Amino acid sequence: MDPLKVGIVAVVLAALTVVFVFRAGALGFGERVCVAHFEHTAGLRVGEDVTVAGARVGEVRSISLGAHDVLVEFTVEDHIRLGARTRAEIEVATLLGTHLLAVTPAGGGELADDTIALSATSVPYNLQDIVDRGSASLDQLDPSLLSGTLDEVGRTMASSQPDLAAALDGISAVSEVVLTRADQADALVRAATDVTSRLNANSTEIVSLMKQSNAVMAELQSRREAIRRLLADAQRLTTTLKRVVADNQQDLDVALTKLTVVVKGLRAQEKELSAALDVLGPSARYLANATGNGPWIDIRPDDRALPDGLTCRLKGLC
């Protein structure tokens, strides 16, 4: 067998395998195709999601106009069982205008012909209902009153034409300023966006800082109350001391007079007290040395301190 032919066949088979793997979902394997009848599309577009209980199970294949309604063809995974009373609803998915087809399986048995009837579908709004409500509101208007109102508005505008012209000139001037400073306005918007993004990125830290600030404020308030109580107690103590001093003023005067006399006497004898303390220091030291060797006192009197007759008798010399 020619190796070149074998190689070509192998490459073709590999390419077909890759295409089959990547296009298996698009070919519809593992999916079933269903049809739902709606009053109108409500903005639903081909390719938007089909969900069951919030989970994506397929997508919208096509949207076509029927005799009196709109036919929406969509896919659903094979393992999803759709009962006889299955319902479908077009919902707004995001604020940006995307939609989804929400399917709600219900009932026993199987969905007949994989088709959801018009009576089992709903849309976010009904154009006919809006038109009917608008027509009813218009019918309630009084044509004569409306005509008179418009005439009055016309007369008012005619009488205030100079002011209106000045206002329009002002608006035009503002528009020119905005146009001439478009770059600065754009920079301002970008800066505001940057600040907003930074605040969003640091929202956790900001919230934590605010909580800590609240704790600090609570602690400061607690300390303030404690200081207030301390000042109140000090005020009461001062009042009490003043009352005590006032009640005992005479006794305090006598005591202070006597204390003054004692202080004067001590000052007068300050030199004698200093001399006595100078003598008392060495004497105390000698006494401590004499009694520090045991439970006795070391005394060695000098013979010269005794009379001669007593010394002679004590020594047995006479």
Rg (CA), the chain: 56
Cα–Cα distance measured from residue 76 to residue 59, given in angstroms and rounded to the nearest whole number: 8
pLDDT of amino acid 145: 80
Would the pLDDT of 3 be above 70?
no
Reference 36, options 50, 26, 54, 25; nearest CA is 50
- Neighbouring residues of 122: CB distance < 8 A, sequence distance ≥ 6: 87, 88, 89, 90
Please state the pTM of the whole predicted model.
Answer: 0.36
User: Is the Cα torsion angle 241, 244, 249, 255 positive or negative in sign?
Assistant: negative
Higher pLDDT, 159 or 45: 45
Determine the average pLDDT of the residues in 106-122.
90
pLDDT above 60: residue 312: yes
Average pLDDT over residues 38-67: 90
Alpha-carbon distance 200 to 206, whole Å?
A: 9
For the chain, the domains span 31-129
**Strand ranges inside the chain, DSSP E:** 31-38, 49-52, 55-65, 70-77, 87-92, 99-104, 115-116, 121-122
Considering the chain, what percentage of its residues have pLDDT values greater than 90? 15
Q: How confident is the model at residue 26 (pLDDT cuts 50, 70, 90)?
A: very low
Q: What is the pLDDT of residues 191-208, one digit of tens each?
A: 888 888 787 777 778 777
Name the pLDDT band for 6 (thresholds 50, 70, 90): low
pLDDT at residue 5 in the model: 66
Q: Token digits for 312? A: 């002679």
Q: How far apart are CA 71 and CA 230, in angstroms?
A: 83
